[in-house]
C-alpha cells in the first residue's frame, strides 16, 4: 500500500475514533455543565457529523462528472465544510466564553464537569492549531512555488 493511501486510512480511523469519543463524552456528561449546557450537545453533534461525513466521503467516485452520485458527494463535501466552520465558531463561543468554569461546586451556577469542559476545550483548540498549521504550510508552499516560478522565468530569459 502506498504512503498516501496509508495516511488516508489512518486519518479516517482517527476521525472514526475521535467521533465516537466525542459522542460518548457528550452523552455521559449531558446535563453536567450548568454554566453552558450546550457543550455536551456540541460534542455529540460534532461526533455525529464527523461519522456521517466520514461515511459520505467513503462513497466511491465515478469518472462521469454528471453522475448524480458525484454531484451528491460534491454537495455534501461543500455542505460539510460550511457546517463544520459554523459549528466550530458556535462551539468556540460556548466553550471559550465560560473559561474557566467552577469544577468543584455542582450547585454553583458556574459549574461544569472538568472532564467534559477540558475535553471540549482541547478538542476545539487542537482544531484551531491544525487549521493554523495547514494555513502556514499552504502559505509556505505558495511562497516557495512563486519563488520557483520567478526563478524559472528569470533563468530562461
pLDDT above 70 for 153: no
Residue 67: how many other CB atoms lie within 10 Å: 12
* Overall residue count recorded for the chain in this entry: 157
Q: Residue 2: which residues within 8 A CB-CB, separation 6 or more?
A: none
> DSSP string covering 23-86, please?
HHHHHHTTT-BSS-TTHHHHHHHHHHHHHHHHHHHTSPP-S-TT-HHHHHHHHHHHHHHHHHHH
3-state class of 122 per DSSP?
helix
* Domain spans, the chain: 3-156
| pLDDT for the residue 141 | 84
The 10s digit of each residue's pLDDT in 90-134 is 999 999 999 999 999 999 999 999 999 999 999 999 999 999 999
| pLDDT for the residue 47 | 96
- pTM equals 0.84
The 10s digit of each residue's pLDDT in 22-51 is 999 999 999 999 999 999 999 999 999 999
Amino acid at each position: 500500500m502506498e504512503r498516501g493511501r496509508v495516511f488516508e486510512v489512518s486519518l479516517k480511523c482517527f476521525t472514526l475514533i475521535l467521533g465516537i469519543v466525542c459522542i460518548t463524552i457528550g452523552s455521559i456528561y449531558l446535563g453536567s455543565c450548568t454554566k453552558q449546557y450546550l457543550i455536551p450537545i456540541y460534542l455529540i453533534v460534532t461526533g455525529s457529523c464527523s461519522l456521517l461525513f466520514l461515511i459520505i466521503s467513503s462513497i466511491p467516485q465515478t469518472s462521469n462528472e454528471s453522475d448524480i452520485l458525484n454531484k451528491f458527494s460534491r454537495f455534501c463535501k461543500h455542505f460539510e465544510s460550511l457546517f463544520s466552520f459554523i459549528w466550530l465558531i458556535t462551539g468556540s463561543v460556548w466553550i471559550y466564553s465560560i473559561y474557566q468554569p467552577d469544577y468543584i461546586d455542582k450547585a454553583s451556577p458556574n459549574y461544569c464537569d472538568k472532564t467534559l469542559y477540558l475535553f471540549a476545550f482541547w478538542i476545539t483548540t487542537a482544531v484551531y492549531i491544525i487549521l493554523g498549521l495547514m494555513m502556514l504550510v499552504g502559505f509556505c508552499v505558495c511562497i516557495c512555488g512563486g519563488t520557483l516560478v520567478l526563478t524559472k522565468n528569470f533563468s530562461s530569459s
